[in-house]
Amino acid sequence: MSEPFRKYLCKTCGLIYDEAEGDPDSGLAPGTRFEDIPDDWYCPLCLVSKSDFVLMSDAPRPKSDVVKPKSKVGGKESIVIIGAGYAGWNVAEQIKQHLPDADVSIVTGCDGAVYPKPAISMAMSQGRDAQDLIEFAAEEKALELGIGIKTRAKVMSINTDRKRLMTTSGSINYSKLILATGASAIKPMLSGDAVSDVMTINDLAAYKRFRGAIEGKKHISLLGGGLIAVEMAEDLISQNYQVTLLVRGDTLMRNLLPSQLSHKLAAALENNQIEILYEAQLEAIDHQDDGYRLSLDDGSQLTTDLLVAAIGLKPNVDLAKKAKLDVSRGILVNHQLQTSDADIYAIGDCIEIDGELQAFLEPIRREAETIAKHIAGDASAEFKVMPPLVKTKTPSLSIITCPPLKKDAHGDWSIVSNDESSSEVSYLVEEQVKGFALSGDKVNQAAKLYKALSA
């Protein structure tokens, strides 16, 4: 009798490799055992290696027992990190790898739970709720890394002269400070008596509220046509919800995809019974019976059971601005990830570097390593700004895209190949490839193309 198929969890992004399903996009047929996967295979979502996967029965779970990490947080020789999202935990881990004896602490206004944020937009189709996504309680992870942790302590201000934080739980000193304050979901400017009921989802607490809110509902409307809105639409439709996408423009994911792939994706979503309304300028949301009435600028109306806004993220820069650090759209950093104060670094969704905002996983891992090396004394440590590589969690049409950097935005998309089953489109600037987008069978070329791009 053959051994049952197993499932493996990516520790970085939460993707599940199911042996029964394989990964056909990467050339792994259904039934491919994990141990038979080539060592050069990578996670199709976040590009980490096979070694970053764990058997799901062995995956870490939050413990109910109270664990005690080191009690002291901060100090005159301490490296303090503000924020306990993916960026905060990642840079803490990198610092301890490069400086095992360093005094490191994380301060966060939330519970600090460790979870793979990208998994939020595919959790329902994987049969997981908000609690299932938690890999470690904050105290448990801090104990493992040998660092200090202070949760539920919001940082109110930074005294850069005295190197001291003022928090809702008292003051904390630092020698080096790392801002991992992330970004917040943008809330739409709407009128109507139900504006406060519009939901946004950008963390685990908000996702837990969302899962509670959709209980017993039938129709969910999503405001936005970007990556998160599209992925959530797919996840909801997999659980038999009726879904409407309200898109302000005339294409989906316009900042990430060429029009050829955007149209293909839209056709696949509509074939999967997802309704898409283009040029939909939502003006108001009002209560109506047990649901809501949505009013558009063209006078049309529709009813829905719930409205979720997914119209983008805004870097959290208020704390940095209050500390008089240089800020534009994000916290401005150099290629060592230092802010305008050399003893303060910043990482992740909150930063702006070379005019770029990159709210994706892949840059964060390299940013964390750069910061750790630089603090450890490696003057040559430097972060290279690269176009982001993005794998969409859209079962209707598999897509991997690498949109160009802003400095290359004067180029054009050029079709390399395009048929019913797959597409390859390159972004060219003066005949040089500066980005690409792949769909269907072509997505297994992503790693090779990305390596060529970064050479």
Phi-psi region at 367: left, alpha or beta (left = phi > 0; alpha = psi -120 to 50):
alpha
Residue 85 CA to residue 108 CA, distance in Å, equals: 9
Domain count, the chain: 4
Q: For residues 88 and 202, state if they share a domain.
A: no
pLDDT in tens, 238-247: 999 999 999 9
> Which residue did the predictor score with more confidence, 46 or 117?
117
- Which residues constitute the domain of residue 45? 7-55
> Do residues 30 and 177 share a domain?
no
Whether the per-residue pLDDT at 13 is higher than 90: the answer is no
Q: At 112, which CATH number?
A: 3.50.50.60
Asked whether residue 214 falls in the same domain as residue 259, the answer is yes
Point out which residues pair with 435 in neighbouring strands.
Answer: 427
Q: Do 337 and 296 share a structural domain?
A: no
CB-side neighbour CA atoms (13 Å) of 232:
28
> Using an 8 Å Cβ cutoff, are 151 and 108 in contact?
yes
Which of 258, 283, 311 terminates a domain? The answer is 311
Instruction: Give domain status of residue 392, yes or no.
Output: no
Residue 218 in domain: yes
pLDDT at 364: 93
Which helix (H) or strand (E) segment is 365 a member of?
A: helix 361-375
**Lookup: tokens for 424:** 């390859």
Report CA 257 to chain centroid distance, whole Å: 18
Query: Which amino acid is present at 144?
Result: E
pLDDT tens sequence across 197-227: 999 999 999 999 999 999 999 999 999 999 9
CATH code (residue 26): 2.20.28.10
The values of phi and psi at residue 52, to 5°, are -90, 10
- Give the pLDDT confidence of 162-182 residue by residue, as tens digits: 999 999 999 999 999 999 999
Q: Is 219 part of a structural domain of the chain? A: yes
The DSSP secondary-structure symbol of 196 reads G
pLDDT bin (cut points 50, 70, 90) of residue 68 is low
The torsion region of residue 166 among left (phi > 0), alpha (psi -120 to 50) and beta comes to beta
Residues 45 and 128 in one domain: no
Element (DSSP H or E) covering residue 155: strand 155-159
| Residue 73: inside a domain | no
pLDDT: which is higher, 59 or 72: 72
Say what the pLDDT of residue 62 is: 47
- Rounded mean pLDDT, 74-98: 92
Domain end call among 311, 330, 357: 311
Query: Does 356 share its domain with 337?
Result: yes
Asked whether residue 214 falls in the same domain as residue 256, the answer is: yes
User: Whose CA is closest to 340, among 349, 379, 351, 348?
Assistant: 351
How confident is the prediction for the chain on average, in pLDDT?
Answer: 92
Residue 113 binned pLDDT confidence (cut-offs 50, 70, 90): very high
Q: Pull the structure tokens for residue 235.
A: 């996840």
User: Residue 66 above 50 pLDDT?
Assistant: no
pLDDT of residue 26: 72
Any idea what the Cα angle at residue 236 is, between residues 276 and 109, rounded to 5°? 110
Quick check: 303 and 288 in contact, CB under 8 A?
Answer: yes
Is residue 16 scored above 90 in pLDDT? no
Interatomic CA distance for residues 329 and 356, integer angstroms: 9
Cα Rg of the chain, angstroms: 22
Buried b (16+ CB within 10 A) or exposed e, 303-319: ebbbbbbbbebebbbeb
Structure tokens at 450: 């990305």
Kindly state whether residue 70 falls inside one of the protein's structural domains.
Answer: no
Backbone angles phi, psi at 116, to 5 degrees: -85, 105
d(CA 256, CA 264): 14
Which structure tokens are listed for 452? Answer: 């060529």
Q: Do 142 and 289 belong to one domain? A: no
Q: Model confidence at 439, in pLDDT bands (50, 70, 90)?
A: very high
Q: What is the pLDDT of residue 190?
A: 98
In a domain, 15, yes or no: yes
pLDDT given at position 57: 66
The strand pairing partners of 136, in sequence order, are 114
Q: With contact defined as beta carbons under 8 Å apart, do 214 and 381 qualify?
A: no
Q: 282-325: per-residue pLDDT in tens?
A: 999 999 999 999 999 999 999 999 999 999 999 999 999 999 99
How many angstroms separate the CA atoms of 45 and 47, rounded? 6
- pLDDT computed for residue 63 by the predictor: 47
In angstroms, rounded to a whole number, what is the distance separating the alpha carbons of residues 197 and 331?
31
- pLDDT at residue 110, rounded to an integer: 94
Contact 306, 221 (CB under 8 A): yes
pLDDT score at 49: 81
- Tell me which of 5 and 345 has the higher pLDDT: 345
Residues 191 and 302 both lie in one domain: yes
Please give the C-alpha separations between residue 389 and each of 17, 44, 96, 325, 326, in angstroms, as whole numbers: 20, 10, 27, 30, 28
Give yes or no: residues 102 and 179 share one domain: yes
Let me know if residue 255 belongs to a domain: yes
pLDDT exceeds 70 at position 71: no
112 touches 69 (CB < 8 A): no
Least confident of 91-100, 189-198, 437-446: 437-446
Domain stop point among 269, 290, 311: 311
Looking at the structure, tell me whether residues 223 and 158 fall in a common domain: no
Contact indicator for 370, 337 with CB cutoff of 8 Å: yes
For residue 246, being part of any structural domain is answered with yes
Residues 302 and 196 in one domain: yes
pLDDT tens column, 250-270: 999 999 999 999 999 999 999
